[in-house]
A and B are shown apart, each in its own frame.
Chain A
Amino acid sequence: MFDVFANLGLGFTVALTLKNIGLCFLGCLIGTLVGVLPGVGPVATIAILLPVTLSLDPTGALIMLAGIYYGAQYGGSTTAILVNIPGEATAVVTALDGHQMARNGQGGLALGLAAIGSFIAGTVATIVIAAVGVPMTRFGLLFGPAEYFSLMIMGLVLAVVLAHGSILKAVSMIAVGVLLSCIGADMETGRERMTFDLPMLHDGIEFVVIAMGVFGFAEIFKNLADPEKRDVVRGAIGRLWPAWRELKENLAPMLRGTALGSILGVLPGNGAILGPFASYAVEKRLSKTPERFGKGMPAAVAGPESANNAGAQTSFIPLLTLGLPPNAVMALMVGAMMIQGIVPGPQVIERNPELFWGLIASMWIGNLMLVIINLPLIGLWVKLLQIPYRLLFPGIVVFCCIGLFSISNDPAQVIMAAVFGLVGYTLFKLGFEAAPLALGFVLGDLLEQKLRQALIISNGDPSTFVRSPLSAALLLVGLVALVMAVLPAIRRSRDEVFVENT
């Protein structure tokens, strides 16, 4: 236990330098700024802002990205409450009662409770990460290439099982993502693979290009094809700080939400998405006035928002300790780490302790900063929400263009991202999710590398993956999860969970 605080102490000495505080603040600010824009969820926000961090040192870049992530999350909640447009699935629950509260003139209270709940959740989750981080990495270090390969397969399978929609389509998207990552020079021989002799494909496809295409541009195309109805709350927002009584009433939902979100967020596969739903269900069951849910119940905002933020944060655990991104946001983080020359995995804590602990400490600082900057700036965000979409999306386009160009000073990347935008739109029309594609793409290189290493060690004998007990166990977990998801009875109840979602 003492170790945890010693390590956090190291983290705070890194995170509390003037430069890193500044980056964290800047990240939170611009993350909120972009995340607040309707129709731009956290994933799109991070994809758009990723190039901004490229010129920084690795620690600074990750701290800023984490700030952007929290900012985008909170900005998304603001949009969900005031405009009833959830930027991503986890904000759907917030929109239910939050928007009703805003219509009743309690928008400020909803925002305030969301901020305070998120802060409490963030504080608890930071300690959880610090406590679980070291044992998890020790566990991770036991992994040889074969175990690693199986772990990634299991992670990808769980991502499929927990995604919504067709399992077949999600599996297909992962395969397509891994396949796309194979394009470009072979990592061992340097031989060109599937580049169709196009010079822009020689070095493979940049992750940022895919991310900005399928999350950024595709989102714009979707909105252009099918303009969203916007329902901006025009009336008074009301006071932000809850009264003592309101705070006391909502403290228990916040803590329950935090616990649920923290646990679900660690699951490989997009576990964090289940947190808000679980919290909403629990609060409704425990409430003395369940009939008020859906009509503007403060506990229905405080609980899910806390769960949301706790899950958002603990989903860093599989990424930081095992190098496994559990969702699209974390896939973007892997992309950012790779660009900075850091291969995510259990070795990070040994080789870059200041990065590891600095990032964790800055998570807490980021959460604090969100409360500090968002409550006074709420008026500004409301103004931003009133920008018409016809001006909003050209702005997003130009940010994407500048960001993409700045990655490698190559204009071809800009055009390629727009083409991937069209790909993303097509995927949407055909009922595919883009998140598994991003996951497959970002894990593709590592998957192939571990496959090769494992087979070299075993002299080409593929049974190595089932002979190692750990590897066999991981594959078995994946297999069982997949079978359970495909079985009709369980399949039905899983669908019910997600019906409320859409």
Chain B
Amino acid sequence: MSDQASPPSARFPWSQDGLAGLALVAFGAVMFWAGLELPFVTKSGGVGSGLLPRLLAGLVVLLGIAQLVLAHRRPGEGTGSWPLARFLPVFVGVVAFALTIRGAAIGPLAIPPLGMAVAAPLAIIGSGLAAKEARIGELVVFAVLLTAFCVGVFRYGLGLSIPVAPWLIGF
């Protein structure tokens, strides 16, 4: 990986392996619960739709427990910092794209289909703000150029039927 200083060691279960085990147990348990009503065998005696999912969910839980046992036996590294807040602008950009590309209705708020002409710059500028050294002016210019490039490549070059700007040119 990168040559960052290795994160300080952490106490069980907050080490990397401990958290990995907990995550597996949690995911397996949720999936097991979600598949609880699925039949193990079909009426004719074949494999039911629940057999593989429940076996696998059980297996994931067991693997998680094994991981926890290992993590308990040997102290391990922590996971370092989780700068999740820094990713938020990327999500804002992606959600803005999803809501505007062909319109959406959230409760009373109705967004008209705005097409790539609006959605792409929103995605670029929104996510671009996630960089520490982001400069808004540069980002706007880049967004305009890249959007034009995308329209050219995806709509005209590859012939994908993505709306470009329905409010302006009708498609």
Contact = CB atoms under 8 A, between A and B. Distances in A.
> Do chains A and B interact in one complex?
yes
Interface of A: 52, 55, 166, 168-169, 171-172, 175-176, 178-179, 182, 186, 188-189, 191, 193-194, 196, 217, 220-221, 224-228, 388-391, 393-395, 397-399, 401-402, 405-406, 409, 411-412, 414-415, 417-418, 421-422, 425-426, 429-432, 447-448, 451-452, 455-456, 459-460, 502
B129 to A, nearest CB: 9
Interface residues of B, number: 79
B60 A175 contact: yes
A452 B97 contact: no
Contacts of B150: 398-399, 402
A402 B38 contact: no
Nearest to A403: B154
Nearest to B147: A398
Given A168-B66, A394-B123, A395-B146, A182 B16 contact: no
B83 A225 contact: yes
Interface of B: 1-2, 4, 16-17, 19-20, 23-24, 27-28, 31, 34-35, 38, 41-42, 45-47, 49-50, 52-53, 56-57, 59-60, 63-64, 66-67, 70, 79-84, 86-87, 90-91, 93-95, 97-99, 101-102, 104, 116, 119-120, 123-125, 127-128, 130-135, 138-139, 142-143, 146-147, 150, 154, 158-162
Contacts of B124: 394-395, 397-398
A221 B84 CA distance: 9
Contacts, number: 194
A473 to B, nearest CB: 24
Contacts of B67: 168-169, 172
Contacts of A220: 90
Most interface-central of A186, A395, A426 (chain B CB within 10 A) = A395
Contacts of B19: 430
Contacts of A227: 132
B47 A455 contact: yes
Given A193-B49, A226-B4, A397-B124, A390 B131 contact: yes
9 contacts: A176-B24, A179-B28, A191-B38, A193-B38, A393-B131, A395-B146, A411-B99, A414-B98, A460-B45
Given A171-B63, A405-B97, A418-B94, 10 more contacts: A168-B63, A194-B34, A391-B142, A394-B93, A402-B154, A405-B98, A409-B161, A411-B102, A414-B94, A460-B45
